Amino acid sequence: MTFLLTGTRAPATLDLARRLARDGARVIGVDSLRWPLGRSSRAFAAHYRVPSPRFEREAFVEAVLEIAEREGVSLIWPTCEEIFHLAAAHGRISARVPLFCEPLAVLDPLHDKLAFARLAGEMAPASWSPEEAPDDPTLVWKPRYSRFGVSTRIGSRPPDPAGWVAQEFVAGEEFSSWALCQDGEVRTLTFYQCPARAGRAGCAFEPIWDEPAAAFIVSFAAARRLTGSLAFDFIRDAIDQVRVIECNPRLTSGIHVLDPSVRLTGLLREAAPLPPPMVPAQLGLPTWFSNWRVAGQSPDVIAVEGDPGPRWGQFLGFTELAAIAVRHSLSLAAASTRDLEYNGPDGD
């Protein structure tokens, strides 16, 4: 079986590629960066640079399709926010090569923080559009389409709140999840906390399990017959109530804590018992810089035996992202998604 993975800049995509390759699959990678992390990995049988999903969507879609057909791809597996740009052409793509995600009409309200809060109902904090928001200095304000907590404001209404959502502030313990779904069935599911973060993005991952959150995820996926990755951020408040903060319908760091013994190709055929075996993991260098007390306490996702390229390739990737950040006056986190992010049907 041959998989085509998009968004190979992400450590989660590198992890996915290695797992598929260990299962005996052939893996092709594509990304719009010149030096994405995955380019230097032996897990990829071939790697291609493609146009920007955000700025050249049509050319990107056609490039992915052309590569998939040339390489005899069995399944296109989007992993980062380019998933939304492929989902916008779901019918055209899936008529030629199977696409492992839902159409944009399904994914958009999951990515939109206000729309998702309304879908989640009582599991989510109270959420309002700018016009509906009460005059409350404790509200959390964030763009409806955003990532990594970029631009989040607590207690400070933005000067121009159009396109933002206001949410009730919930204090508590944060944790996240990642599920692999097929036709509404959760094939596997992980939960994790982040004892170290680079900015708002986690770089060390400790597995946990939460039964109420698991029940919510299983029900949510089944009700919508979702296929692909489904990830959530949760918070457990002072009275032990679990609230869901937001949804990411794409691959996330939750894959890192899935025990390497779990065969992903097998999960595409049938579900495995929950909870699965899980292990701690970390991104070595970011963890050293973020929280040296945690560094080295779990396996490094990037630098692994038998695949030395990413250990050194991460420096090229960092240099490229740093240059983008300087050129466009962005944070590193914002630079990492600038050319592939999706900001809604009316976004740029």
**Predicted local confidence at residue 227, as pLDDT:** 98
Answer whether residue 329 shows pLDDT above 80: yes
Cα separation, 267 vs 148, whole angstroms: 28
Tokens found for residue 100: 């492992």
Chain-centre distance of CA 132, in angstroms?
Answer: 30
Q: Which amino acid, 335?
A: A
Instruction: Summarize the confidence of residues 166-186 as an average pLDDT.
Output: 96
Q: What is the DSSP string of 234-265?
A: EEE-TTS-EEEEEEE-S--GGGGGB-TTS-HH
Contact (CB, 8 A) for 173 and 236: yes
Strand pairing of 228-236 and 173-182? antiparallel
pLDDT in tens, 81-106: 999 999 999 999 999 999 999 999 99
Q: Which amino acid, 163?
A: G
348 band by pLDDT with thresholds 50, 70 and 90: low
Cα separation, 162 vs 273, whole angstroms: 44
Instruction: Summarize the confidence of residues 156-161 as an average pLDDT.
Output: 89
Cα separation, 269 vs 331, whole angstroms: 40
The structural architecture, per CATH, of the domain 173-303 is 2-Layer Sandwich (3.30)
Answer whether residue 199 shows pLDDT above 90: no
Domain spans, the chain: 1-101+308-348, 173-303
Q: Which CATH class is domain 1-101+308-348?
A: alpha beta
Tokens 């035996």 identify what position?
305
Instruction: Summarize the confidence of residues 180-191 as an average pLDDT.
Output: 98
Whether a cis peptide bond, with omega within 30° of 0, leads into 310 is: no
pLDDT in tens, 264-320: 999 999 999 999 999 999 999 899 988 888 888 999 999 999 999 999 999 999 999
Answer whether residue 179 shows pLDDT above 70: yes
Tokens 């919510």 identify what position?
216
C-alpha radius of gyration, the chain, whole number: 19
Chain-centre distance of CA 224, in angstroms?
Answer: 19
Question: Looking at residue 93, what DSSP letter applies?
Answer: H
Give the mean pLDDT of the chain.
95
155 band by pLDDT with thresholds 50, 70 and 90: confident
Q: What is the DSSP string of 4-72?
A: EEE-TTSHHHHHHHHHHHHTT-EEEEEESSSS-GGGG-TT-SEEEE---TTTSHHHHHHHHHHHHHHTT
Tokens found for residue 43: 């897990």
Alpha helices in the chain (DSSP H): 11-22, 57-70, 82-87, 90-94, 104-111, 113-120, 211-224, 264-267, 284-290, 309-328, 332-337
| 137 burial via Cβ count (<10 Å: 0-12, 13-18, 19+) | exposed
Cα separation, 91 vs 73, whole angstroms: 17
Instruction: Summarize the confidence of residues 175-197 as an average pLDDT.
Output: 96
**Exposure of 155 in the CB half-sphere (CA atoms within 13 A):** 3
Category of 183 on φ-ψ map: left (φ > 0), alpha (ψ -120 to 50) or beta: left
Q: How many CB atoms lie within 10 A of CB 206?
A: 21
**Predicted local confidence at residue 305, as pLDDT:** 93
**pTM here?**
0.95
